[in-house]
């Protein structure tokens, strides 16, 4: 591994020369999610969410970690915004905690709403565009008690919530996101059980996904009736590689691609569910009703893409597939393979599959590592290299004609990484959880140097 030119951190992270990412209209930001950073889970009338319940269930989250304090962003939000402004970023993607802003009877919780209004006003003061996600997995527990995403009614409750947010926050938001990663909510929440509410049953897959996508369609309509800001959805995509050239493994990889990527995108962009999934889950069909698909496939203003890794897939000998981890590939602290070309290939693949592909924001991308503060400094060269390689892959996709308008690094801060708790560090800023001290990692300094150079040139 060769040393990076420490004297020129901007060059170490920068996109290739001549890239449209050097233009100021290409947005750079960071992303977070409410439950992962806010803490203050009982402040100002916030109701319990499914993640509070999940964390309180022994054995669900590593080390028994919870969201009770997290990064204490609920109290340190001004400092956190100042850090983003200091880095020279142009946007911030964050989520609203549904249980903070809406009472169980559907009425607004104004104290909770005020937190987000103050946050949005300060972002505007600092010239940071606000990309606001309504649902990043923290369903109010009282809705889970009535069936959660297995119940069609939850989609209508989400539309009520979206309507309230559109009404209360109109004019303050630059872009709305209905859902973050419905794939994870459906699959990890209800099939693998790795995420809240921790259910495990293959038969839940189609019901929960359909209700989530319906929530998106209804929520988008509600937001548009209240506010003019663009609306989209954020989907996590994975690159897939067949373990061998055998027809069985190639077919297995096609099914894995259908499950990981097309299960969400086909209904949104083609207006029908992907039929390969019937091979995977033969007994399960989406609970479609008249009019659902028109709502789900209503054109979005943009599509958010989260990309982290590639999986190697082989046939399980029946109608399914299993992962066949490749030896000798570079992996992050999560065990995820580093494979930037996968992002390029997925983007160009979507461009050919979907004639109506909307403009894209990369709404998450980043890596976890066991970062430590040594003499006031966090050396995370690996993250600098990770970002630079992904910028190059995005640039290649753009040169091939994909419209990418911005990039959000995951994440601003080290934070609560769901079932893994606080051990996995994704931040540009290191968080010392004992003191809540934030330290800019070298990757943050490199990004700051690049953005300063970009601003000087354009």
Q: Which residues participate in catalysis according to the annotation?
A: 181, 364
Q: Is 410 in the site for ligand FCB (CB under 6 A)?
A: yes
* Residue 236 interacting with ligand FCB (CB under 6 A): yes
The residues in 23-82 that bind ligand FCB, with binding defined as CB under 6 A, are: 33, 36
Specify the length of the chain in residues.
458
3-state secondary structure string, 109-176?
CHHHHHHHHHHHHHHHHCCCEEEEEEECCCCEHHHHCCCHHHCCHHHHHHHHHHHHHHHHHCCCCCEE
Distance of CA 60 to the CA centre of its chain: 21
Cα–Cα–Cα angle for 88, 90, 94, rounded to 5 degrees = 115
Q: Phi, psi (5° rounding) for residue 308?
A: -130, -40
Nearer to ligand FCB, 180 or 369 (CB): 180
Least distance from C-beta 188 to ligand FCB, angstroms? 9
Q: Determine, following the binding rule CB under 6 A, whether residue 418 of this chain makes contact with ligand FCB.
A: yes
Phi-psi region of 348 (alpha: psi -120 to 50; beta: other; left: phi over 0): alpha
Q: Choose between 426 and 450: whose C-beta lies nearer to ligand FCB.
A: 426
Give 102 or 184: the residue with its C-beta nearer to ligand FCB: 184
Q: C-beta of 251: minimal distance to ligand FCB in Å?
A: 27
Coil/strand/helix, residue 392 = helix
338 neighbors 309 (Cβ within 8 angstroms): yes
Percent helix, percent strand, percent coil in the chain, to nearest 5: 45, 20, 40
Any contact of residue 180 with ligand FCB (CB under 6 A)? yes
Q: Which is nearer to ligand FCB, 100 or 454 (CB)?
A: 100
Q: How many residues bind ligand FCB (CB under 6 A)?
A: 12
User: Backbone phi, then psi, for 136, in 5-degree steps?
Assistant: -115, 55
**Does 184 interact with ligand FCB (rule: CB under 6 A)?**
yes
Nearer to ligand FCB, 184 or 269 (CB): 184
Q: Which stretch binds ligand FCB (CB under 6 A): 98-106, 127-135, 410-418, 442-450?
A: 410-418
* Two structure tokens written together for 64: 């028994």
Candidates 54, 135, 426, 450; binder of ligand FCB (CB under 6 A) is 426
Should residue 178 be labelled a site residue for ligand FCB when binding is judged by CB under 6 A? no
Instruction: Tell me: does residue 451 bind ligand FCB (CB under 6 A).
Output: no
End-to-end CA separation in angstroms for the chain: 33
Window of 157-165, 177-185, 251-259, 274-282 that interacts with ligand FCB by CB under 6 A: 177-185
For residue 187, give both structure tokens: 């699959």
Considering beta carbons, is residue 149 or 410 the nearer one to ligand FCB? 410
428 lies in the site for ligand FCB, by CB under 6 A: no
The footprint of ligand FCB (CB under 6 A) covers: 33, 36, 180-181, 184, 236, 306, 364, 410, 417-418, 426
């Amino acid at each position: 591994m060769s040393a990076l030119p420490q004297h020129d951190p901007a060059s170490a992270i920068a996109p290739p020369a001549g890239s449209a990412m050097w233009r100021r209209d290409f947005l750079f930001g960071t992303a977070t999610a409410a439950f992962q950073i806010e803490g203050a889970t009982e402040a100002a009338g916030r109701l319990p969410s499914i993640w509070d319940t999940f964390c309180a269930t022994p054995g669900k989250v590593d080390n028994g970690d919870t969201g009770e304090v997290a990064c204490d962003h609920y109290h340190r939000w001004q400092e956190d915004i100042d850090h983003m402004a200091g880095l020279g970023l142009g946007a911030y993607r964050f989520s609203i905690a549904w249980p903070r802003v809406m009472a169980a009877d559907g009425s607004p919780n104004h104290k909770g709403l005020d937190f987000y209004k103050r946050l949005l006003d300060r972002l505007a003061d600092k010239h940071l565009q606000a990309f606001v996600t309504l649902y990043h997995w923290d369903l109010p527990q009282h809705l889970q008690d009535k069936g959660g995403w297995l119940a069609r009614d939850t989609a209508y409750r989400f539309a009520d919530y979206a309507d309230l947010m559109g009404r209360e926050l109109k004019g303050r938001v630059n872009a709305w996101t209905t859902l973050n990663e419905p794939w994870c909510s459906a699959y990890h929440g209800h099939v693998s059980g790795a995420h809240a509410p921790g259910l495990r049953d293959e038969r839940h897959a189609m019901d929960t996904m359909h209700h989530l996508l319906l929530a998106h369609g209804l929520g988008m309509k509600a937001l548009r009736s209240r506010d003019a800001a663009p609306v989209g959805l954020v989907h996590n995509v994975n690159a897939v590689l067949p373990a061998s050239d055998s027809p069985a493994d190639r077919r297995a990889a096609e099914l894995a691609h259908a499950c990981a990527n097309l299960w969400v995108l086909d209904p949104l962009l083609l207006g029908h569910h992907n039929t390969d999934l019937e091979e995977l889950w033969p007994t399960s069909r989406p609970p479609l009703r008249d009019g659902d698909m028109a709502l789900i496939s209503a054109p979005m203003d943009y599509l958010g893409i989260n990309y982290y890794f590639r999986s190697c897939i082989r046939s399980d000998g029946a109608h399914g597939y299993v992962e066949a981890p490749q030896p000798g590939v570079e992996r992050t602290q999560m065990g995820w393979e580093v494979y930037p070309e996968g992002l390029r290939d997925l983007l160009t693949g979507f461009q050919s599959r979907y004639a109506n592909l909307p403009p894209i924001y990369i709404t998450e991308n980043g890596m976890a590592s066991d970062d430590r503060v040594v003499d006031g400094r966090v050396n995370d060269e690996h993250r600098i290299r990770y970002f630079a390689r992904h910028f190059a892959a995005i640039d290649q996709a753009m040169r091939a004609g994909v419209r990418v308008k911005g990039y959000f690094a995951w994440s601003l801060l080290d934070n609560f990484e769901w079932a893994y708790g606080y051990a996995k560090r994704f931040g540009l800023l290191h968080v010392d959880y004992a003191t809540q001290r934030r330290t800019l990692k070298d990757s943050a300094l490199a990004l700051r140097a690049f953005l300063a150079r970009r601003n000087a040139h354009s």
